[in-house]
Structure 1
């Protein structure tokens, strides 16, 4: 029987406004059937939160972000401080199921698996809006309709629930600090870019989506408005343009092409069925979401090309409205060679 690898769980936080959510996140890790070997809380440039967490969370390694301000720098700080073979990332407003670590770690018995990501269920604070299409749950940082229901290799993970072999993250150079969220600025895709880099370095590497390794992600009322929906879609388009700049459009947009050709048309057909509550508003959301995301991507690409900067250098991005946001995720995973439809290698 194989021994499970050691595990460091990294939670990144930047504000006291989500203190209750943060306590729930840490509590869910402590309550695992298979306890993590260590829990790291990285505080992103918020001294008051750092001091409060140090006093209130014994047994948790609390540390300040020692890199550039933002989620990417905080994650890199956690990876650098981690002592275990696998590093797992949990959002500060997410709570893991009791078997999260077990389900995740058992997949590392395959040496080709370099990362495991899991299901992110939305936990709507005020209930799901009737118009909000499940195909767009990535807007609130959650798994969306269209993802596989069985373990499947994927291109990239959802940032709220993912893990990697620590050595792979180190070898790839960590998360790019010119990508990703800074405070409430709604940019992202740093986890997508890292996954693409890891895959480019090791073509045989497998990034495995394991839906049984599940968490719930708090969705507050502020993220259920039309304004938030549109701004997040637009921001995701901008973020995807930056990833394209670093990784090339073929790799960066492979999953998005599948999403637009398959997932979205199926969503329109499903919504048009008789008796669908809020059908007209859902159709409007589907259309507006696609248009806003494409617009953000086009504007981001134009800005990137007009900047004239080298492909691997950080660049400024167009201004966006600032609103609290989880990790964005847009696209559909695709199967890798050697894996069957049920996530078994064959």
Structure 2
């Protein structure tokens, strides 16, 4: 463990949960939040529109601040509920199926010694329930909510953080709206990018501030067998393309796709070539990884372009319809 400078701040940990099907992992997540070498000031558990689960959580964790989400269902609304409830100077977010390492908060908060740092995220390592598929490329670990190949391996600025393991100063929420509730995970659909859109808006509002990736701040994220399927990768990539199109509409294409351009033009081609080379060296999973990269990229691109076209048509048709109605009146 590296030596850390003391952080003189109150830290609230926010965990959103919505189903008792993940209870075993949720318990471990909460226990790991309480077992930190840098103890949290507060652990906020947001139960997302599930009254029976709310009662169970409140009974199981009396030391936590357990609240029901009264905002829109989904990760964005639940996170906003957690922000409204939390009283810490630093707000750290942990998924309900992730286990934080004991020094997670200490490592996560160390970069805040720099007053220009407004957000910090860390490493998310997968725990494969059924074992890692040989065909699953590390460049696409974002599909299962984990750190992916191409991200910095040392402390470095990032455009956006990943929701499973992220934190912000309290003042990050003072002058901008919180997380959008119309593009996040809800109703079982693998839609994301609510934290991406928030981070981009935060960067636009405070261009002099930094969001940092701090690799030693580690959590381990459970990946169920159902998400280790090729069909899930394609589905997730489809919804990612759709989500990125919405983000680009909200914050502009330049900022909305800045990180994706480098990943698409540099990291992914390298991954395809690496997979093919691995295949020539006898790694049977290598060609599968190359195929997954090409398929995932094509699926996301197709979905992105289709959604952008649909949004453009709607924006064109709406004024025309309004003009016709005004003329008729």
Settle same-fold status: TM greater than 0.5.
Answer: yes
Aligned-pair RMSD on alpha carbons?
Answer: 1.3
**TM-score normalised by the chain length of structure 1:** 0.87
Deviation at 1:287, TM superposition (A): 1.0
Matching residue of 1:284: 291
Deviation at 1:275, TM superposition (A): 2.3
Q: Distance between the aligned counterparts of 2:288 and 2:110, measured in 1?
A: 42
Match of residue 229, structure 1, among 223, 230, 233? 233
Match of residue 209, structure 1, among 202, 206, 213? 213
In structure 2, stretches of 5+ residues that fail to align are 318-329
- Any residues of structure 2 matched to 1:245-324 within 5 Å, and which? 245-273=249-277, 274-308=281-315
**TM-score normalised by the chain length of structure 2:** 0.92
* Deviations 1:125-173 (CA, angstroms, capped at 9, x unpaired): 1110010001100000000111111000010011100000111123221
Could you say if the C-alpha distance between residues 309 and 10 of structure 1 is closer, same or farther in structure 2, counting changes exceeding 3 Å? farther
In structure 1, stretches of 5+ residues that fail to align are 311-346
Q: Distance between the aligned counterparts of 1:2 and 1:15, measured in 2?
A: 36
8 Å CA contact 1:7, 1:84 repeated in 2: yes
2:126 maps to 1:119: no
- Partner of 1:172, secondary structure, is coil
Larger helix proportion of the pair: 2
- Partner of 1:308, secondary structure, is helix
Q: Distance between the aligned counterparts of 2:211 and 2:17, measured in 1?
A: 25
Q: Distance between the aligned counterparts of 1:246 and 1:259, measured in 2?
A: 21
- Any residues of structure 2 matched to 1:94-243 within 5 Å, and which? 94-243=98-247
Matching residue of 1:4: 8
* Rg larger in structure: 2
Matching residue of 1:63: 67
- Any residues of structure 2 matched to 1:14-25 within 5 Å, and which? 14-25=18-29
8 Å CA contact 1:6, 1:36 repeated in 2: yes
8 Å CA contact 2:241, 2:303 repeated in 1: yes
Structure with larger RCO (C-alpha < 8 A, sep 6+): 1
Q: Distance between the aligned counterparts of 1:263 and 1:93, measured in 2?
A: 28
8 Å CA contact 1:135, 1:146 repeated in 2: yes
Aligned residue pairs, count: 310
